[in-house]
Amino acid sequence: MVMNKSRNVFKSLVLAAVMGLTGGLTGLAQAKVVGLEAELQKWSFAGVFGTYDVNQLQRGFQIFQQSCASCHSANLMSFRNLSEEGGPQFSEDQVKALAAEYTIYDPELEDGERQAVPADRWPAPFQTELDARAANSGALPPDFSVLAKARGISQKFPYWAFNYFTGYQEGGPDYIYNLLVNYGEPPADVELPDGQAWNNYLGRGLAMAPPLGDGFISYDGEGVPETLEQYAADVAAFMMWMAEPHLVSRKEMGFRVLTFLFLLAGMMYLVKRKIWANVKH
Amino acid sequence: MSGNSSYNPTGAVEKWFDERLPIIRFSKEHLMDFPTPKNINYWWTFGAVLAFILVVQIITGIVLAMHYVPNSELAFDSVEAIRRDVNYGRIIQATHAVGASMFFAAVYIHIFRGLYYGSYKAPREILWILGVLIFVLMMATAFMGYVLPWGQMSFWAATVITNIFAAIPIIGDPILALLRGGFAVDNATLNRFFSLHYLLPFILAAVVGLHIWALHVPGNNNPVGVEVKSSHDTLPFHPYFTMKDLFVIVVFLIPFSWFVFFAPDILGHPDNYIPADPLLTPPHIVPEWYFLPFYAILRAIDFDMLFISSKLGGVIFFGGSIIVLFFVPWLDGSKVRSGNFRPLFRPFYWLFVLNFLMLTYLGAQVAEGIYVLLSKVGTAYYFAYFLIILPIVSRIETPAPLPASISESVLGKAEASGEKG
């Protein structure tokens, strides 16, 4: 009887799993038929126990600030976010000093501009979309705020199906990494328009010239290689944090919630069994 | 099935109430004493799961509406602001978004349970029809909700789905303009979708009320499909089924929370993190997973039939795939409810389940090559199941012998008659 009942529960769970699985069949059909297969990276923030590596985020910020931010905006990031828990965790003084280096344009002010404070959003490199396009051979550099979640990689069956159980959410950073390290010469039969650079991962040209290369940026301290691969990983991690700044606290709460639910479910089952003990059904 | 309560008001206040508004009596009758077949299995718990999710969706939705801005310039950033700056906003928003998927997962289980155990048969036709109506309202609500974050997929899903109505002859274009509030999907579309997205769940809740009312007249169907014959066949709803339902709700919350806390974006599409851009069509527009089987049917009709264009044909089949559900109680003429006693029905049923999963898969694929052919086969079987197989099988099938009562099916013949004697 008990065996039978637990088998029923099991069957329900299996069905729920199947529904969930067929559930996510969308999402994976990125239209990337040409180009390279993405090389998946090991991210510190992957998996159920994953958290951001503060040092990596600080390095990633450095790359963002010194390289990306000259063309790309990050309109949803405030300076204050950089000192918040779960992020790059610069000190508040550091952030204050950082903000002071930037100017905020505000037509309602007397002089039309003022020094930035930690509460300000990250100032955009261009005032209008037209300015941005004019400076980038007609292309608009996308905003960085949630870009790491707006990109994904394509996976073959059945690998994507495992994602629902592993919680793989790093398609964005993997895409960014692969894009950054795979610039190269176009194939002989391809003629690129002016202002475009060939990317082997995408299998096409794009308006962004290779933004990083070995030794482009010098890290403080020793021990971290100053290579293209390292830069790409660091900036991709930073972009993931920018897109998902509360990832760590979210997972922490998830552990508490799931632990509670498992315990409660177990106790509920025992109570249910007790109530039904004398009923043949 | 009223009047099965032993309620006796105790004390002056309860008596006073009972003579004026017998709400305590009503609750006792319907929430506690209601006689429920004791053999219903775990598939029957999903009604309670669905009621629970509806409440979760309404509560999280009301909180989200306090922070959301239904304006095409601000909507995308306002959803991000909820995730970033509102206290627990990321949890509330993720619960609402994942909750939609969970709602559909549970409703599909609930519908397929009804189809297997013949829960739509007399005297439960109206119960079933109200259920299909709830399903339609759910789809409308979910679709409009998906548009609100105003990402690329939101915008283009709105464009593609509203465009479906343009295929209707004569009145198609006015309907399209009315839905969009203009000639293209724009701020006016977003505003009316937000308004309706807030309205429809309350209509849905009212229909759920009717659904439960219609359930409490004949009472629950059960896995053997034999009507309740005596009080030996039933147990009071409380504590037996309240406890069982609550247990399953807690179990259901485990995968729900897994998605909310560990993979909140996995059921969505990355493109919806790109703000809507009317000038840039995504290479591959796909709806949310729960619409995929019907989306596959819509796309399967890529050929003209006589004077019906492929576009109108697709819309007819798309609409027909839902409308046909309303008629299931009369298409299946078998007097035997439960699939357990219908040997010929069973293989066709399971094939229908597999076919539905296949259509789900196909809805997410690019419409080319083998996928197009499979979509057509899947669409054909979907309709054949309801319009041909169910009517014919119910006429030619010899069902297995039914037990005399629920008690007999549970206890075996000898013991059941002993209990009665």
Q: What is the DSSP string of A35-90?
A: SPPP-----TT-STT----HHHHHHHHHHHHHTGGGT---TT-BGGGGGSTTTT--
- Residue-level pLDDT at A224: 94
Question: Long-range pairs for A103-111 at CB < 8 Å and ≥24 separation?
Answer: none
Residue B247 inside a domain? The answer is yes
CATH number where B177 lies: 1.20.810.10
Q: Smallest CA–CA separation between A280 and chain B, in Å? A: 7
Per-residue confidence (pLDDT) for residue B142, from 0 to 100: 97
pLDDT at position B421 is: 38
Q: Is B314 exposed, middle or buried (0-12, 13-18, 19+ CB in 10 A)?
A: buried
Please provide the DSSP assignment of B61-102 as one string. HHHHHHH----TTTHHHHHHHHHHHSTTHHHHHHHHHHHHHH
Q: Which two tokens stand for residue B53?
A: 């999710």
Give the pLDDT of residue B7.
Answer: 86
- State residue A25's pLDDT score: 41
The answer to whether the CB of A53 falls within 8 A of the CB of A59 is no
User: Does a structural domain hold residue B5?
Assistant: no
Tell me the CATH number for domain A40-77+121-245. 1.10.760.10
Pairing state of beta strands A113-115 and A103-105? antiparallel
- Residue A174: per-residue pLDDT: 97
Residue B88, min C-alpha distance to chain A (Å): 9
| Contacting residues for A81 by C-beta, under 8 A, at least 6 apart | A87, A245
Chain B residues 138-197 with a CB less than 8 Å from chain A: none
Map out the domains of chain A as residue ranges.
40-77+121-245, 249-281
- Which chain B residues touch A29 with a CB distance below 8 Å? 284, 286, 364-366
Q: To which H or E segment does residue B247 belong?
A: helix B242-262
For position A21, what pLDDT does the model report?
44
ipTM of the complex: 0.92
Q: Please say whether the dihedral angle defined by the alpha carbons of residues B83, B147, B274 and A30, taken in this order, is positive or negative.
A: positive
pLDDT for the residue numbered B2:
47
Instruction: Kindly identify which residue of chain B lies nearest to residue A20, measuring between CA atoms.
Output: B105
Distance CA B211, CA B216 (A): 9
Q: How is residue B177 written in tokens? A: 């303009």
The mean-pLDDT minimum among A229-238, B97-106, B361-370 falls in: B361-370
* pLDDT on residue A19: 47
What pLDDT is attached to residue A16? Answer: 47
Handedness of CA A180, A184, A187, A193 (dihedral sign): positive
Q: Picking from B130-134, B193-197, B250-254, B404-408, which range would have the lowest pLDDT averaged per residue? A: B404-408
pLDDT band at B371 (very low <50, low <70, confident <90, very high): very high
Q: How far apart are CA B324 and CA B115, in angstroms?
A: 13
pLDDT number for residue A3 = 43
With 80 as the cut, is the pLDDT of residue B79 above it?
yes
Q: Rounded to whole angstroms, how far apart are CA atoms B18 and B27?
A: 12
Supply the DSSP string of A163-199, one letter for each residue. Answer: HHHHT---HHHHHHHHHHH-B-PPPTT--PPTT-EEE
pLDDT tens, residue by residue, A246-272: 999 999 999 999 999 999 999 999 999
Instruction: Say whether B385 sits in a helix, a strand or coil.
Output: helix
pLDDT given at position B224? 95
Print the domain residue range for B67. 38-420
pLDDT band at B5 (very low <50, low <70, confident <90, very high): low
Residue B16: inside a domain, yes or no?
no
- CB of B266 within 8 A of CB of A161? no
* Domains of chain B: total: 1
* Residue the block writes with tokens 């790109």: B274
Using 50 as the pLDDT threshold, list the residues of chain A that sit under it. 1-7, 9-33
Give, in order, the Cα–Cα distances in Å from B177 to each of A61, A265, B104, B173, B189.
47, 50, 29, 6, 10
CA distances from residue A172 to A109, A151, A168, A241 in whole angstroms, order as listed = 39, 5, 10, 11
Q: Is the pLDDT of residue B36 over 50?
A: yes
Q: Could B364 and A28 be called an inter-chain contact, meaning their C-beta atoms sit closer than 8 Å?
A: yes
Contact A31 B284 (CB under 8 A): yes
pLDDT at B416: 57
B274: nearest CA in chain A?
A150
Mean pLDDT of B176-190: 96
pTM: 0.91
Q: Which among A9, A25, A271 is the nearest to B42, CB-wise?
A: A9
pLDDT tens digits, one per residue of B331-353: 999 999 999 999 999 999 999 99
pLDDT at B122: 92
pLDDT at B1: 43
A47 phi and psi angles, rounded to 5 deg: 75, 175
Weakest mean pLDDT among A24-38, B275-289, B372-386: A24-38
In the chain, the amino acid numbered B3 is G
Q: How many CA atoms lie within 13 A of B100 on its CB side?
A: 27
Residue A89 and residue A83 in contact, taking contact as beta carbons nearer than 8 Å = yes
